[in-house]
Amino acid sequence: KAGVTQTPRYLIKTRGQQVTLSCSPISGHRSVSWYQQTPGQGLQFLFEYFSETQRNKGNFPGRFSGRQFSNSRSEMNVSTLELGDSALYLCASSLVSGGGDEQFFGPGTRLTVL
């Protein structure tokens, strides 16, 4: 069974630009969660999608948005990039919604904002 894949793996952008990250979950998983990981901060929850519906959202500004398609693939968009958005963005898929069971993580997208 193929794991969670994320594209691209690395991105370099400048302030003010926007970026779209993609995540393909494990086949059969309908829940996709997005996290921002920075050194010393752990994982900060961005949002979760389940069956194309956003189920929950973390405390991030509206510049961070996402969506999920009918095949469970998900995209995350960050508009008007700021230096502080530089981080590793992780996607995780799960059979169940809400974070109550094991999540399977992708390799992440390393975003650098200059």
Residue 13 or 45 having the CB closest to other proteins: 45
How many residues bind other proteins (CB under 8 A)? The answer is: 28
User: 28, 62, 84, 100: which one contacts other proteins (CB under 8 A)?
Assistant: 100
> Does residue 3 touch other proteins according to CB under 8 A?
yes
- The answer to whether the beta carbons of residues 99 and 32 sit under 8 Å apart is no
Of 90, 93, 109, 111, the residue at the interface with other proteins (CB under 8 A) is 90
